[in-house]
Structure 1
């Protein structure tokens, strides 16, 4: 960092605009570097509606000094790098001010953010006569440009509303392809990316648009068929700059497709995740649930019990995707994670992401065979993830064939929205019959109905528990506590749609065997007492 000079007009102080979930980490990093300005209280930041549209942010004042000649983009990069927060480049912003007074920090009207600064440079590449002929000015275009954007190296992802204003619609419709390419190339260079795309909502059906319906005069005479978008494919994402590889939507890519596609990445909770943005969605809003899993007491309990027994523990993810939640189980200490994923693009993203994090992966193709018990001995050391590229419809039978050859299954994640109901019976049956465990049910629930809906789901899970109960031990129902499923917690993850909340229900499923049998099989090495 640059040192202070006697010329106060040539330097500026840095304040950080930080999402609430990162405040603790940012504050700690500033304290370790002795760069936290304790004279200014950490307080809510409300001056930028676009930033807060992505979640509440807080303003943290620092004693960091940078030269005033440094651009907003360069300053942010340098400040975050020194603090070890560069992986959150797309989430943390800075404000430059010549004063450390609290009133000045709050009243300071931030200059153009890095996106506006980059587009300002890009617009300068366009012929002046083009803007003049359209009655447009750079100032108006930049004022109409929203602040929100995300960088997933090496790609800049713009929001669906980036070019929604009439000024930008006019420019995009009038500029030539070459002029637009020059514009995007300059933006990419300024933001240090190689690709640019514009995001769009994930439609529930393939062939369906979430934009307004066209007028009757423009609608086709016959209704176009649609199919459920069960793979959550980002069919509306629009590449703007750079080669994204094959654009044809297919769930089972060829080796050539995988090697020529654009792959991007991001780091959350110091876990790297990788995906092909044209073919696979990424939900940044799930970070709160990922963070929760890393320190979830029930996962820590299963890991600890597995260590005492010397067997370890296993988790199952029935809708693994690119490893959203599966990676969290591994980072939390789970020895083996069994995954099911139908989308070949997601499987490849999971494989690449796991390798980048130092975890071994075995991918089993959905050829009707699966992994047999005798194959387990041939697994390589460090293979944390076993991934079946197929529907989870056969997960139950595959797990039964592996029972005893893998560590006890203590957690099962059912992460499909809007409902994971189709996997609940498989999840309950997958848990270790002698130890029991937890099922994590993801479900979209109306905010006003969360309590009642949670009770309904628990009742339905209880019905499954009763159906899969071991027939040989029904006479011991009293000793097993009636095999009652327990709803331990309902986690509200994020708003999925107006009035609808993505919730996760943590449900304890008791063991199917008697306590005596479990104690005999474990020789007393695992604590089986549980407080209800």
Structure 2
């Protein structure tokens, strides 16, 4: 006997409410259209002799196909003896029915309404599947694959004597809760997916997964139960490496994440793979506090640098590296040690299309907090910068920046840490491979990337008085770097400071006043103008040209970028000429 799919028969005026309720619960089979019941009957072999049932005219009803979850999967196929629909009110009164646990909106709780809604088992072939729905979404595939995988185990456990208060009672009635609590959203990058922190940690998921793991161990892993489960999730989410994320500590200048790997080969970090919450730390390098120092000796005397914890090339090789491409720019990072900020894509696009706002073509850019190159790579690939001087504390981010530069075919060189040797400007550096022209292909004409690892204050002499743009991309505040930004700007041309800062709602104007006042003081100290009269010096022109909201950072707090144009008094703006073609 073939099994039927459960179908809800709903009056047309209630279709919308039921659709929202069932979609939120993850119960509706979205690969099948909501169709008039009479059309379903015709496809099933002709209309029923009567479309009247319990005094209701079913010709006015819509049919919604449900996923065969739990007890629904036991519905027999429709037959001459089993064609009459069952009232939804009747099913709700039965505590063993999965649908009895569904939370209905207020407009659907009236008993008279529920008595006018019916469920019937229908042959799947009665529904036509539209071509555009033949391909399931990852979430739909995850839901259906999970249901098929867990059903035999839940059936077995429901009749088992192993149930206890500690592990909880598991049965087919548990399945709707499991499906409903699957993660609904995630971050996907090429072959790497990052799930929300609570993914698979909402009961009864920990109980079910622990039961599967114990069963796998008892069987000596001969059936590879957990391996099958991991493969199922990988195929549904189309990723080889899947992990759960946690909140990145704001006080950590290295912006190091704390994630829990679930699937995939994480090399030396496979020991951290777990489907269960664990309090052990995942970070394996030193803690770093933000600071600015005047000398190499001061840095050596702090805990900012630990020679025993600096990663080696072997460490980099023994870590998993993720990749993604945004707006034709490739990025690379090690998820165990560095983050990828998906929320700043609007700022990347703004830089890529910045010519009408601040033209960076042929200009010198200093990025004081480059990370893995979120903005620096965009300046080179899209904005036409001549050279980008990039500073970064985190050695894992520096390695990601190098990998990203090579992936984008950008020439680069990286200086050695100032801590390990002389402070001479002739310090040795490592260079990337030169671009090799490909026959028949126009070579990419990107600018150069110069990388400075460690404290950005120790490298100021390398780019002081050279920059036309300075990116200060540290949040919650880049204020420690404002002085370096002022020192980096060209004294003859000036340029733009792109200041990132987290600002509470309602405090935007206060921050802008504070920023302008602070910058005026810094320019007076580091770039004083010549005295022109007895009344004093000429001053730099410092004006806020734009304030961009990048993303929400916390409740009532937003990440902003403030474009501050800074020009010396002798600066003469170039005259723009327009071709009349």
Q: 1:341 to 1:266 in 2, by over 3 A?
A: same
1:341-374 CA distance string (max 9 Å, x none): 0111101111111111111121212134478369
Aligned match of 1:240: 262
- Measured after TM superposition, the shift of residue 170 of structure 1 is 2.7
- Measured after TM superposition, the shift of residue 116 of structure 1 is 4.2
- Measured after TM superposition, the shift of residue 167 of structure 1 is 2.4
> For the residues of structure 1 that align with 2:326 and 2:22, how far apart are their CA atoms?
24
Aligned match of 1:384: 448
- Contact between 1:317 and 1:337, CA under 8 Å: does it hold in 2? yes
Q: Quick check: 1:485 aligned with 2:542?
A: yes
Q: 1:111 to 1:313 in 2, by over 3 A?
A: closer
Q: 1:319 to 1:528 in 2, by over 3 A?
A: farther
Q: Quick check: 1:341 aligned with 2:392?
A: yes
Q: Quick check: 1:200 aligned with 2:246?
A: yes
Aligned match of 1:367: 418
Aligned length: 383
> For the residues of structure 2 that align with 1:477 and 1:432, how far apart are their CA atoms?
27
Q: 1:458 to 1:174 in 2, by over 3 A?
A: farther
> For the residues of structure 2 that align with 1:477 and 1:321, how far apart are their CA atoms?
47
Q: 1:373 to 1:256 in 2, by over 3 A?
A: closer
> For the residues of structure 2 that align with 1:359 and 1:454, how far apart are their CA atoms?
36
> For the residues of structure 1 that align with 2:469 and 2:195, how far apart are their CA atoms?
37
Q: Quick check: 1:141 aligned with 2:164?
A: no
Structure 1 gap segments, 5+ residues each? 1-45, 52-95, 205-227, 304-311, 520-525
1:307-327 CA distance string (max 9 Å, x none): xxxxx3210100000001111
Q: 1:478 to 1:176 in 2, by over 3 A?
A: farther
- Contact between 2:154 and 2:170, CA under 8 Å: does it hold in 1? no
- Measured after TM superposition, the shift of residue 383 of structure 1 is 6.5
Q: Which structure is larger by alpha-carbon Rg, 1 or 2?
A: 2
- Measured after TM superposition, the shift of residue 48 of structure 1 is 11
> For the residues of structure 1 that align with 2:350 and 2:314, how far apart are their CA atoms?
37
- Contact between 2:355 and 2:383, CA under 8 Å: does it hold in 1? no
Aligned match of 2:229: 183
Matched residue of 1:240: which SS? strand
| 1:240-279 alignment runs, 5 A limit | 240-247=262-269, 248-250=283-285, 252-279=310-337
> For the residues of structure 2 that align with 1:410 and 1:477, how far apart are their CA atoms?
31
Q: 1:482 to 1:187 in 2, by over 3 A?
A: same
Aligned with 1:230 (options 253, 266, 273): 253
- Measured after TM superposition, the shift of residue 171 of structure 1 is 1.9
Q: Quick check: 1:165 aligned with 2:202?
A: yes
> For the residues of structure 2 that align with 1:50 and 1:370, how far apart are their CA atoms?
63
Structure 2 gap segments, 5+ residues each? 1-18, 25-126, 159-168, 217-224, 270-282, 287-309, 436-445, 577-581
Q: Quick check: 1:117 aligned with 2:141?
A: yes
Aligned match of 2:102: none
Matched residue of 1:187: which SS? helix
> For the residues of structure 2 that align with 1:97 and 1:477, how far apart are their CA atoms?
88
> For the residues of structure 2 that align with 1:140 and 1:457, how far apart are their CA atoms?
51
- Contact between 1:245 and 1:260, CA under 8 Å: does it hold in 2? yes
495-504 or 243-252, which deviates more: 243-252
- Contact between 1:316 and 1:338, CA under 8 Å: does it hold in 2? yes
Q: Quick check: 1:506 aligned with 2:541?
A: no
1:36-78 CA distance string (max 9 Å, x none): xxxxxxxxxx979999xxxxxxxxxxxxxxxxxxxxxxxxxxx
- Measured after TM superposition, the shift of residue 498 of structure 1 is 0.1
Aligned match of 2:574: 527
493-502 or 190-199, which deviates more: 190-199
- Measured after TM superposition, the shift of residue 111 of structure 1 is 10
Aligned match of 2:408: 357
1:161-202 CA distance string (max 9 Å, x none): 322432223323433164434211222134332221111111
- Measured after TM superposition, the shift of residue 479 of structure 1 is 12
Aligned match of 1:459: 517
> For the residues of structure 2 that align with 1:389 and 1:266, how far apart are their CA atoms?
23
Q: Which has the higher helix share?
A: 1
> For the residues of structure 2 that align with 1:48 and 1:486, how far apart are their CA atoms?
52
- Contact between 2:366 and 2:463, CA under 8 Å: does it hold in 1? no
- Measured after TM superposition, the shift of residue 131 of structure 1 is 5.6
Q: Quick check: 1:315 aligned with 2:365?
A: yes
Matched residue of 1:435: which SS? coil
1:107-150 CA distance string (max 9 Å, x none): x9x99741341353255445345663523543431122132022
- Measured after TM superposition, the shift of residue 396 of structure 1 is 1.9
Aligned with 2:461 (options 397, 411, 429): 397
Aligned match of 1:19: none
- Measured after TM superposition, the shift of residue 448 of structure 1 is 1.3
TM-score (norm. length: structure 2): 0.59
- Measured after TM superposition, the shift of residue 484 of structure 1 is 2.5
